[in-house]
Amino acid sequence: MNLIELLVPLLGVAGLMVAGLVFKKIMQQSGGEGTVADIAQQIHQGAMIFMRRELKILGGFTILVGGLLIFKDPYEALAFFFGALCSSVAGVIGMFTATKANVRTALAASEHGAARALTTAFFGGTIMGLTVASMGLIGVGSLFLFFGSSEHDIHIIHGFAMGGSLVAIFFRVGGGIFTKAADVGADLVGKVEAGIPEDDPRNPGVIADNVGDNVGDVAGMGSDLFESYCNAMIASMAIAATLAFSKVDQLGGDAHALIFLPLALASVGLLCSFTGIAIVWLSSSRDPARALRTGTLGAALIFILAAVGVVASLGVSLKVWACVLSGSVGGILIGLSTEYYTGGRPMRSIAKAGLTGVATVMIRGVAVGLQSVAIPLVVVASVLLAASSLAGLYGVGIAAVGMLATIGITMSIDAYGPIADNAGGIAEMAGLGKEVREITDSLDEVGNTTAAIGKGFAIGAAALAALAIIAAYVNVITANHDGFALLLSDPRLLTGVFLGGLCPFLVSAITMNAVGDAAQEMIAEIRRQFREIPGLLDGNAKPDSNRCIDIATNAALKRMILPAAIAILAPVVIGFGFGPETLGGALVGALLSGVLLALMMANSGGAWDNAKKYVEQGNYGGKNSDAHRACVVGDTVGDPFKDTSGPSMNILINVMAIVSLVIAPLL
Amino acid sequence: MNLIELLVPLLGVAGLMVAGLVFKKIMQQSGGEGTVADIAQQIHQGAMIFMRRELKILGGFTILVGGLLIFKDPYEALAFFFGALCSSVAGVIGMFTATKANVRTALAASEHGAARALTTAFFGGTIMGLTVASMGLIGVGSLFLFFGSSEHDIHIIHGFAMGGSLVAIFFRVGGGIFTKAADVGADLVGKVEAGIPEDDPRNPGVIADNVGDNVGDVAGMGSDLFESYCNAMIASMAIAATLAFSKVDQLGGDAHALIFLPLALASVGLLCSFTGIAIVWLSSSRDPARALRTGTLGAALIFILAAVGVVASLGVSLKVWACVLSGSVGGILIGLSTEYYTGGRPMRSIAKAGLTGVATVMIRGVAVGLQSVAIPLVVVASVLLAASSLAGLYGVGIAAVGMLATIGITMSIDAYGPIADNAGGIAEMAGLGKEVREITDSLDEVGNTTAAIGKGFAIGAAALAALAIIAAYVNVITANHDGFALLLSDPRLLTGVFLGGLCPFLVSAITMNAVGDAAQEMIAEIRRQFREIPGLLDGNAKPDSNRCIDIATNAALKRMILPAAIAILAPVVIGFGFGPETLGGALVGALLSGVLLALMMANSGGAWDNAKKYVEQGNYGGKNSDAHRACVVGDTVGDPFKDTSGPSMNILINVMAIVSLVIAPLL
């Protein structure tokens, strides 16, 4: 056991301690009393109740899958349980703290102004960011200590990835359905029918909507990124373990150094995240948008420079460092393209289409989404080509690690968004006044832009991670079957391409239908309450928020099972039913159609959302104009696109790939 | 020159003569006078003017591409011009006659009732169906006579496929943009804003809308199917020409017989189509829906039986016949799945979502489309697996030929729909009375169901044809490069998958934006006319229909060029820029994402359309209810999905594949 290698999990523990300190600092701020505290408590409890029920179902699945895995390798099963545990812990901690930070952000805005509110929301998100990164380092790092030095044991670490992925698909899909069922339902009756503002306390669906931000955008997003982060590392390690000697020699260093490199990069990435967080903290009193941007880009830049040292000190060729660079540059380009489509001219063309009604808003928004896949796919293809020509498929994995190494800060900013959003909701519901709402709105807006970039980043990284896992899968199969080749002209493989390609469409349909059904149920319930509870619309009676939370919870828990089952079972059925060639084709098919759908849905949804906001700023008739009404519908349709179905794609392709990698030796 | 082989083009000539006789019979019916004749003339002229301008642009492109092709092989270039000519002739004849049959259908309904109207519309479509099949047999059949017996010359026939494909992408994309720009524009101002019925003569966009049916749904659809039909034959011939001796021996017969088989099957298919047409004619006096269904299924059934004889008489193994069978069964299954999604429970769930507003109609419709890809993709994968295990990739081509062999009748029914639709438009505009409109509506409805099945069929056939061409491409490359292998784990190939996969999304976006832009322009123009022409809405003044036709024409002609350029240039750029491995990956990527998008868009669009009709039948509040208004928006959004972007996908993937096949020897 090398001392430096021991440092990786210890650094993870240190990260958790920093997160703990940040939490303590946040809790020192006032949590309010009376109505404010009451509303915050309702959101917190709703989220925790959902999480408890979700974990129960997830626990059953974990025991089932893990139990089967014991027959393959008991250690791998253990790693699987460990992975599931780490991912769940990260999600629970992140969500718990987010539901404490939201009210404190609202109160900070009310008592101390924008700068203090920004730091409160950002530090709330920081806990999630640091926890995700730390749990990843603790998990993968400690498994590496035990199993990393033997080529024959390294497959055990795959179990960890599978555990994290299993949790992620449940958290992401369940959380995504919950949050959008509540959001769509509350918006359609509240904003569109009853004409009351967003987050109005008279709307029975508003608490559920705010709960949804936490279970979907915090816990769901966290487990999603945790999974991409760990999968990128583990895939690179797996490829490194099966590299031929000649190749190892070409890349410099020894096989062990190549296996350790992803962990070393991620560790340094965490240190860079600390720095980025400090930058945001120190510069938050000025322009908040700039603070967040400087922090993220600063961390990424320092990381790229530091990576030279890491690569060199392990004796690895600087070609591998160039892969890190290509991954980071690619991530930024995808982010910028996302920003353009969801915030630039294409977004404004949607707003303009509002002048001719809902139909043209819809057509335009779908077209924007379809178009927006081009640049990211060209970028992913370029990174793939560049990294693989520099260092083979190992380079592709390393590029993904490079993209995700500063997850500590990028995830912080992702989680900051929903906290700011929730703070706005609490401010509105508790009647903290217009200025407070304006502060939280401005924070939320900043978060939206950075979140859009983060989303593009996440999709790109997930695609590269999946590619790396697929490469590892091919390596394992090739090692076990002499003369095995995945030939594109093989009809079995082409069959797989079709079968795999339909999975993302099917899962998107299921999740979108789940949101549609639950939203329709929610709408009926909110209409009923407006009708049957006397004095509700005048503000003289309280709505029954719990009924709405129940509807969203039940829908999410019931409807998350099928997508998860498809993700896990599809590779098993295809692999054992048709053989490894078909499964190889299926992984590529699923990857392509998943990435296409993920990008299209995220960007259509984001563009619709921002087009509505653009009209609200006074363009094309401003608030309450016909264009605005048309764009509100666009935004509502975009909700499940961007927050339910779209993000599920990242995990779907990763789960399918990791399950294939785990079952590969059995095929 | 074998006598039987000479029969193929002669049969094609006979088919044209039958079409001529049918045309004479239709022209003997009254073409009306006064308003009716005037409206019909306006539609006819609008369509012909558009066609003339389109052919001019197309001619330029054809000369450019053909001119480059001369440097490769002058004979191939000649075949290319011949293919472009055959496809154009089929489109022009079909559209010309459709614009003569529409008014005669309306008058037949008015003077003789439903049965006569059905036969008139159906025979109008028959001309298109027979022309497409005949031109295909004449073209491919005569080229086979000259170049089919030498393995070294058979590539010349690829030029024909490329010519047909070039025309198809222009006709399909241009026609699709025209028809939906007019439709969306006319509907949004007329039905939604001004509250006047569809096809109301006061609406300035109505003539353009009716012109669009002819240029999009008749000429566009015809060239689309012509291309799939010829490509399926040519790809099978190409694969047969490069088959190893051992394989030829396995399939029985000799190489020459295997090359000739697709033509023999198509010829017998034309005879079966004659039979099917006779069945419809004889049974049309009873239930029209049943007549069409009996004719189509009857022709398919007879064809499957007759194919046994064809296969056996050429001395080919009956395994190859089983491929024909698998193709036909697969086609029917895809058709039935299309019918279920666009007419069954999923469609009704969209109508129900109308109760909670536009947003839920949109979410539900997209979900239906996403879900609807599953069955067809499983079917295509099964046909691929079955046919290839029976007879290798040659079997896949033959399955596609089997699916398309009775194109004579399936295309007739496809073209029948827009003729019936146009007849309804003419009846409404000329004020032929409510009963006439009811007859044409019932004919239109019957056409919709069969058209939905036909659309599914067309996508399935296009996918198999593309697969066969890709297989032929791989064969050519492998023959030219020793040890060439398309390995899925090759990063160059994966790069291609991404690059190819984005093309369908990009082309969809461009075409959808074109419809959006032109529709917005059209809306502004119609609003202007309603505002500025005194007495227009009271029926005392005539609208300026030509302005609307101009808008649609210009938009279509301008915006069809980029998609066509992408389809032709993408394989050239990828092939010469990155090499044959990347191009191979790109073809598979484009095929997968194109088929997925085509199915999703066709079925979402079809389901929205029918959901609106379902509400109009009195469900969920009936006409003019909130649910109806929501579903009208759904229908409008679905228009470019199902009639512009979706159908362009079939051709896009086929053009990309055929261009790759043609440039393959140069790579």
In this prediction the ipTM stands at 0.92
* Structure confidence by residue, pLDDT tens digits, A465-481: 999 999 889 888 888 88
Structure tokens at B396: 């896949």
Q: Which of B237, B128, B231 is nearest to B650 (CA)?
A: B231
Q: Do A588 and B494 touch (CB under 8 A)?
A: yes
Q: Is B587 helix (H, G, I), strand (E, B) or coil?
A: helix
Confidence of residue A291 (pLDDT cuts 50, 70, 90): confident
* Chain segment B141-192, per-residue pLDDT in tens: 999 998 877 777 888 999 999 999 999 999 999 999 999 988 888 888 887 7
Name B190's Cβ contacts closer than 8 Å, sequence gap at least 6: B196, B197, B198, B200, B203, B205, B206, B526
Spell out which residues of chain B touch residue A495, defining contact as CB-CB under 8 Å: 381, 384-385
In a 3-state reduction of DSSP, which class is residue B260? Answer: helix
CB distance B571 to B660 below 8 Å: yes
Q: How far apart are CA A547 and CA A78, in angstroms?
A: 39
Q: Which of A247, A334, A358 to mutate to test the interface with B (most CBs of B within 10 A)?
A: A358
CA–CA distances in Å: residue A456 to residues A170, A296, A414, B65, B593: 21, 14, 12, 39, 20
A325 close to A308: Cβ distance less than 8 angstroms: no
Place of tokens 């993700």: A567
Residues of chain B positioned with their CB less than 8 A from the CB of A362:
362, 633, 637
pLDDT band for position A30 (50/70/90)? confident
Q: Assign A285 a pLDDT band (cuts: 50, 70, 90).
A: confident
How high is the pLDDT of residue A97?
94
- Of A355, A600, A633, Cβ closest to residue B358: A633
Give the closest residue to A443 by CA, choosing from A147, A101, A27. Answer: A101
Region B328-346 average pLDDT: 90
Yes or no, beta carbons of A396 and B515 under 8 Å apart: no
Task: Tell me whether A377 touches chain B (CB under 8 Å).
Answer: yes
Is 90 exceeded by the pLDDT of residue A605?
Answer: yes
Identity of the residue numbered B9 = P
Nearest Cα residue in chain A from B520:
A356
> Is B502 part of the contact surface with chain A (CB cutoff 8 Å)?
yes
Q: CB–CB of A489 and B366 under 8 A?
A: no
| Chain B contact probe: residue of A337, A382, A498 with most B CBs at under 10 A | A498
**Which one of A489, A528, A635 makes the best mutation probe of the B interface by having the most chain B beta carbons within 10 Å?**
A489
* CB-based contact, A391 to chain B, within 8 Å: no
| Contact between B356 and A489 using a beta-carbon 8 Å cutoff | no
**For the range A51-56, what are the long-range contacts, defined as Cβ-Cβ under 8 Å and sequence gap of 24 or more?**
A51/A91, A51/A92, A51/A95, A51/A215, A51/A219, A53/A553, A53/A557, A54/A170, A54/A171, A54/A174, A54/A215, A54/A556, A54/A557, A54/A560, A55/A88, A55/A92
Instruction: Suggest the residue from A370, A475, A528 to mutate for an interface test with chain B (most B CBs closer than 10 A).
Output: A370
- Inter-residue contact B70 to B201 (CB < 8 Å): no
Count residue pairs from A and B with Cβ separation < 8 A: 227
Q: Taking 70 as the threshold, does the pLDDT of residue A5 lie above it? A: yes
Is the pTM of the predicted complex or chain greater than 0.90? yes
Asked if A577 has any chain B CB less than 8 Å from its own CB, the reply is: no
Question: pLDDT digit string (tens) for A120-136?
Answer: 999 999 999 999 999 99
Q: What is the mean pLDDT of residues B72-87?
A: 95
Q: What percent of chain A has pLDDT over 70?
A: 100
Helix, strand or coil for residue B149?
A: coil
Give the integer Cα–Cα distance in Å for A256 and A571: 30
The dihedrals phi and psi of A487, each to the nearest 5 degrees, come to: -95, 130
Q: Which residues of A touch B471 (CB under 8 A)?
A: 489
Specify which of A366-375, A511-520, B547-556 reaches the highest per-range mean pLDDT.
Answer: A366-375
Residues 167-196 of A with CB under 8 A from B: 184, 188, 192
**pLDDT in the model for residue A37:** 92
- Residue B208 distance to chain A (closest CA, Å): 19
DSSP string, A419-472: HHHHHHHHHHHHT--HHHHHHHHHHHHHHHHHHHHHHHHHHHHHHHHHHHHHHH
Rounded to an integer, the average pLDDT of B284-291 is 77
Looking at the partner chain, which of B374, B486, B640 has a beta carbon nearest the beta carbon of A506? B374
A371 CA: distance to closest CA in chain B (Å): 5
| Gap between the Cα atoms of B400 and B309, Å rounded | 19
Q: What residue has token string 């053009």?
A: B655
Secondary structure of B293-358 as H, E, C letters: HHHHHHHHHHHHHHHHHHHHHCCECHHHHHHHHHHHHHHHHHHHHHHHHHHCHHHHHHHHHHHHCH
Give the pLDDT of residue A245.
73
Residues of chain B positioned with their CB less than 8 A from the CB of A491: 384-385, 388-389, 393, 396
- pLDDT for residue B564: 93
Q: How far is A234 from chain B (nearest CA, A)?
A: 18
Averaged pLDDT, B99-125: 92
Determine contact: A384 vs chain B, CB below 8 A: yes
How far apart CA B249 and CA B316 sit, in angstroms, is: 9
| Contact in structure between A106 and A432 (CB atoms under 8 Å) | yes
**Cβ contacts of A188 on chain B, cutoff 8 Å:** 356-357, 359-360
Kindly state the tokens that stand for B18: 């039958």
The answer to whether B515 faces chain A, any CB pair under 8 Å, is yes
Q: How many CB atoms lie within 10 A of CB B534?
A: 9
Q: What is the pLDDT of residues A583-592, one digit of tens each?
A: 999 999 999 9
Chain centroid to CA A270: how far?
18
B479 at interface of A, judged by CB pairs closer than 8 A: no
Contact A491 B388 (CB under 8 A): yes
The structure tokens listed for A544 are 């029954």
Q: Which of A370, A488, A499 sits opposite B584 (nearest CB)?
A: A488
pLDDT at res. A589: 96
pLDDT band at A195 (very low <50, low <70, confident <90, very high): confident
- Angstrom distance (rounded) from CA A240 to CA A253: 11
Q: B594: distance to nearest CA of chain A, Å?
A: 10
So what's the pLDDT on residue B376? 95
CB B501 within 8 A of CB A592: yes
Helix axes of B155-187 and B545-559: crossing angle, nearest 10 degrees? 140
Average pLDDT over residues B469-486: 84
pLDDT tens, residue by residue, B609-653: 999 989 998 999 998 899 999 999 999 999 999 999 998 998 999
